[in-house]
Amino acid sequence: QVQLQESGPGLVKPSETLSLTCTVSGDSMNTYYWSWIRQPPGKGLEWIGYIYYSGGTKYNPSLKSRVTISVDTSKNHFSLKLSSVTAADTAVYYCARTQLASLDYWGQGTLVTVSS
């Protein structure tokens, strides 16, 4: 069974860059899209973007100017960078496999707080 695990700092200072990695186990990354989604505390879900295993990306237009998603299939992981963060970027960040227009396997999520 596919498993995903997010990792990265839980605290980021305002104006700095948030960096997270999602490690995939139990299956190859090939032929799939891989997404990042976030959820502010007590709020709903927001899709950030995805990357194809070969490197093509699509981002949410609301975040596009600040987001970079990359992939390293040799290490079975993909990464998120979100620049110039503010308190509004405080959220639980999830990674997920993307298939058939849905998100079928999710990581457990990691809380990132933006604060000085």
Partner 1 sequence: EIVLTQSPGTLSLSPGERATLSCRASQSVTSSYLAWYQQKPGQAPRLLIYGASSRATGIPDRFSGSGSGTDFTLTISRLEPEDFAVYYCQQYGSSPLFTFGPGTKVDIK
Output the CA–CA distances (angstroms, integers) from residue 56 to 51, 69, 77, 93, in the order listed. Answer: 6, 9, 15, 21
Bridge partners of 34, per DSSP, are 51, 97
Among positions 53-112, residues that touch partner 1 (CB under 8 A) are 58, 60-62, 94, 100-109
Contact present, 112 and 90 (Cβ < 8 Å): yes
| One of 32, 34, 50, 78 touching partner 1 (CB under 8 A) | 50
Instruction: For partner 1, give the closer residue by CB, 15 or 54.
Output: 54
Which residues here bind partner 1, judged by CB under 8 A?
Answer: 35, 37, 44-47, 50, 58, 60-62, 94, 100-109
